[in-house]
Structure 1
């Protein structure tokens, strides 16, 4: 990440971290559009490695602050726009001809995109369920149904959603969200430390769509695009959780340097404390380096690699699995090092203790990843444990 880009994220983080959470929520969305952070996919459309690294670093930095839940919401925008910008798709996919215009419009008008998560699992694993159904009508399309979970809903301008499509099996669409009367927002799904993800249900009440709203139609177009998008999600959401873990580590560091023993020596001078913190540093850096390995992998893909996209999705899922487990452990270990003061409501580690638990629950949930990997390893052939290729 360039110095100027990193400074944008650091400056915004310092500004937000001094505010109460709801005020930080309002300031975040007032300020984030003034930065280039949401528009890295537009700026680096031809450079997936740069796109990933700058997005990852920004989300990591924001995850260190009171903006943690807002950064989760922003991840949805960044992962989907990264996929729309860089997916190595054949020319017959409608998105290919539209994405240049979509990306220019997004950056020029400073627009944010919410993503309606599929109810089922996409691609080579399971067929998605029909939570929203699109009917072909009068030369266009009409969508009806409900999407149960999408973040950043009240703040986003556009919506990307998937649906069962009459005569096509499945489709992916980009539609207007802000001010659209046919999309009715429900109340926030989460309360407490994750309320500011702004996650809400959406009811589709005869939403009218035209050909211009279509990004892909049918399994042959949707499966590669959504598999690629899910891989980006796994890798980018890991940045927020690892950023939160790094903040917990920073709080342990400050505790060790400012709290003294009866003889006046700082706790940080104790050999045991140094070893404890050293173990946390090693665990964090190992998980961060694994997450950063996604960038070179995604950068080398071409349309000829579409049959192997499941390998990229597996890498993303493994990154998220390791990152979220590491983050949860680091926050717990930092809490134990600091003691009861870390459980105060206004202490960063106290706040993170309620947020970091959500990591394994993002799709794909850790239990599903564990089951699939176990089933594969227990097959009839020898299990070697090396990645394909």
Structure 2
């Protein structure tokens, strides 16, 4: 889809307003906005939180309660908010270490503290040029565009459209800071399994499944990616890098999916991790290493879908199993996020930006039509050219 003449990026700084893929003009941002997903922090929060997540889909509470059991198993508390508090504190410390005077505000899409609150707080403190870091590394509707839409909604809801400028760092799936913790985890995990006597290990790189229609539309259409679009391609490319850097190119691996929702009639990306695990013994495997490649921290879909369900499936099939840690607040990951900030502060050319796959460095300003959601259509979004 071609960019219309004179098209502007909503709420953008002047350097990003005309929509360059990579912004080469330094921008004097005065604050960072950590944009999270959010999660309940008590039993009474669970259903209201799930209503927020599924808003507009008409899902009755009795069906939401089927998902709520995962949260209720852990006292109704998702670990994601505490993990974002930890990440925010680590970002503040790293920014201070580098002499960057940038406060870090934190707001969620689906639970307190909300994005609206973070924007109001930033404005009340006199800040007006914000650089957002979404807590998701990949390109898809739910992992990128929906964050951009919710930021646009928050600006409108608070009356701060035209008052605050909000840009967003690029998707960082192949940035060394994100990849390094997984390389370390794969090395350590395989060493642990081998110390237990495992000889035929398969590595399963796990990520959140999404509707096939959304996957095919993930990323800019100009890339011409098929078979899961940019979303699946980014994961495959990064998995290859992880195995190579871990020195394990001869160890078998595959990309698998988890946390599927939606009606059975709607195609989602496959195979499901539990189905993949069940088939491993027939291939002569005696162990499995689970790598949560699609996730930044050990939130509910890691604790339940991987640490509970997937590990139980492995045990049922008499497989040794280890789950690799997520990046969390790993020093390399935190430093990498601040590197993404400095790219925009300094206007670093794309040729000088680190990227470990041929797909990157990813764009700063999303292309028109990027990551379309067929069901919802195009809605206003920051950090990208319309639609």
Using structure 2 for the length normalisation, give the TM-score: 0.24
Structure whose residues are more often helix by fraction: 1
Q: Which has the higher contact order (CA 8 A, sep 6+)?
A: 2
Query: Which protein has the larger Cα radius of gyration, Structure 1 or Structure 2?
Result: 1
Using structure 1 for the length normalisation, give the TM-score: 0.24
